[in-house]
Amino acid sequence: MGEGTYVAEMQIERGPGAIRVAQLPAESAPVYFGVHGAIARHYGLDPVTLKEPRAATLDYVIAAAAA
């Protein structure tokens, strides 16, 4: 097996509730992930009462693949 071309170095911390905070390469500000809508319901959360609805990691993956 050959050597990898790129190794992603990042830090991810759990915030309150479903929030996760990531320090990503080439981003000067932290990136916040969370849940909303149907994703919140899937995890048993009420999307109407979420304090901080945010884009989920799944949203970022889909957006990146669609580009």
pTM exceeds cut of 0.85: no
- Are 31 and 24 in contact, with CB atoms under 8 Å apart? yes
Token duo for residue 40: 């919140």
pLDDT of 17 reads: 85
pLDDT of 51 reads: 87
List, in sequence order, the alpha helices (H) in the chain: 37-42, 57-66
pLDDT digits (tens, 9 = 90+) for 16-52: 888 999 999 999 999 999 999 999 999 999 999 988 8
pLDDT of 2 reads: 82
**Annotated domain spans of the chain:** 11-66
